[in-house]
Structure formats: structure tokens, C-alpha cells
């Protein structure tokens, strides 16, 4: 499960960055 979290963490960060760009 730890490996899954390590993989999802950066992906969620990239998604958040993209969402912020779209909002702007």
C-alpha cells in the first residue's frame, strides 16, 4: 500500500497544479 501512496501522491499534485492552471 505504501508504494501505491507514493505513486498517487505526485499524481494528485500534478492534477492539482493542472486544476489551478485551468481555474486561472
Q: What are 1-24's pLDDT values in tens digits?
A: 789 888 999 999 999 999 998 876
Report how far residue 22's alpha carbon sits from residue 8's, in angstroms, rounded to the nearest whole number. Answer: 21
pTM: 0.47
Report how far residue 9's alpha carbon sits from residue 6's, in angstroms, rounded to the nearest whole number. Answer: 5
Please name the residue that has the C-alpha cell 486561472: 24
Please tell me the predicted confidence (pLDDT) of residue 10: 94
Residue 3 vs residues 6, 14, 15, 18, 23: alpha-carbon distances, Å: 5, 18, 19, 23, 31
Amino acid at each position: 500500500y505504501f508504494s501505491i501512496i507514493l505513486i498517487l501522491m505526485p499524481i494528485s499534485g500534478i492534477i492539482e497544479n493542472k486544476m489551478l492552471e485551468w481555474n486561472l
